[in-house]
Amino acid sequence: MRRGLYLGRFQPYHLGHHEVLKQIAKEVDEIIIGIGSAQKSHEIENPFTAGERVLMVSSALEEFNIKHYVIPIEDIQRNSLWVSHVNSMVPPYEIAYTNNPLVIELLSEAGIRVKQSPLFKRNNYSGTEIRRRMLAGDKWEHFIPEKVVAIIKEIDGVNRLKTIAQSDQE
Ligand code: NAD
Read off the CATH number of the domain in which 123 is found.
Answer: 3.40.50.620
Which ligand 1 atom sits closest to the C-alpha of 102? Answer: 43
Q: Is 75 in the pocket of ligand 1 (CB under 6 A)?
A: yes
The answer to whether 43 and 75 have CB atoms below 8 angstroms apart is no
Q: How many whole angstroms separate alpha carbon 142 and alpha carbon 154?
A: 17
Counting the structural domains of the chain, the total is: 1
Q: Within a domain: residue 59? A: yes
In a domain, 130, yes or no: yes
Domain range for 27 is 3-165
Q: Residue 168 Cα, ligand 1 centroid: separation in angstroms?
A: 32
pLDDT at 170 over 70: no
Q: Is residue 170 part of a domain?
A: no
* Closest atom of ligand 1 relative to the 74 alpha carbon: 40
98 CA to centre of ligand 1 in angstroms:
7
**Ligand 1 centroid to residue 50 C-alpha, Å:** 14
Would 68 be classed as within a structural domain?
yes
Asked if the model's pLDDT at residue 169 lies above 80, the reply is no
pLDDT tens digits for range 43-99: 999 999 999 999 999 999 999 999 999 999 999 999 999 999 999 999 999 999 999
What would the pLDDT profile of 139-155 be if each residue is shown by its tens digit? 999 999 999 999 999 99
**Which atom of ligand 1 is closest in space to residue 37's alpha carbon?**
32
